[in-house]
Chains A and B, each alone.
With several copies, the nearest count.
Chain A
Amino acid sequence: MKLQVLYFAWLRERIGLAEERVEPPQEVASVADLVGWLRSRGAGYAEALADPGRVRCAINQEFATLGAALAHGDEVAFFPPITGG
């Protein structure tokens, strides 16, 4: 399964990337699985994704929960709670 993963605001800064194409192992089926796998990829990831309470997610530009299932080709974004307006 290939995914396009986007990071915004301080997640982007800590991970050091705005966007990347990843191919996680087959057992990664949900957003929560993906978070766990990403955390294992380095200190920046581990730090950025340490507290799920501070991280929000969207799949294909729609808000999603940690339990949401992933599919090949999905665009998955991680970001902090919104502070616009």
Chain B
Amino acid sequence: MAFIRVGPEDFDPAAEVVALQAEAGDAGAIATFLGIVRRGQDKPIEAMTLEHYPGMTERAIARMVAEAESRWPLSGCRVIHRTGRIPVGGRIVLVLTASRHRQAALEATSFLIDWLKVGAPFWKKEHPEAGEGRWVEARPADDAAAGRWH
């Protein structure tokens, strides 16, 4: 039922909401999370590159979505994650869930983005306005956030 897409193409959040609504039938609640490349303050960047492990990424996301569907009564779910170079302000990731119940949609969206951060093989490289690109270090806080859902 879920739609999962991983790749370099940008996406249109509005079109995704329309598509989700069409798939979801009589859903009363749609929750979304949109992740965007931040410029940052201390060492401002101009872009970010997202590398991933093709094949494993899609499997990992499909498993997360199946887990979300088993926990909450979702009537639709879409996960889109971009790869490649994305400029500051550009879209990285979009999670949409539809449900009859607003809390199901909101919680499933939280769950999916928390797990995407730690469970799908993506790696971010930041490109500062000046100097070499640098790989982002994993944050223990992300493990903790995903751990909330055990």
Contacts and interface: CB of A to CB of B under 8 A. Distances in A.
A83 B35 CA distance: 13
Contacts of B122: 82-85
B56 A77 contact: yes
Interface residues of B, number: 29
Given A82-B118, A84-B116, A85-B93, A61 B123 contact: no
Interface string B103-117: 000000000010011
A61 B63 CA distance: 12
A85 B35 CA distance: 7
Interface in B30-79: 35, 50-53, 55-56, 59
Contact of A84 (B55, B120, B137): B120
Interface residues of A, number: 16
A82 B118 CA distance: 5
Contacts of B139: 83
A30 B95 CA distance: 37
Interface string A44-85: 000000000000001001100000000000000101111111
A85 B93 CA distance: 6
Contact of A80 (B81, B117, B135): B135
Nearest to B59: A61
Contacts of A83: 117, 122-124, 135-139
Given A82-B118, A85-B81, 13 more contacts: A8-B53, A12-B51, A61-B55, A80-B123, A83-B135, A83-B137, A84-B52, A84-B81, A84-B93, A84-B117, A84-B120, A84-B123, A84-B124
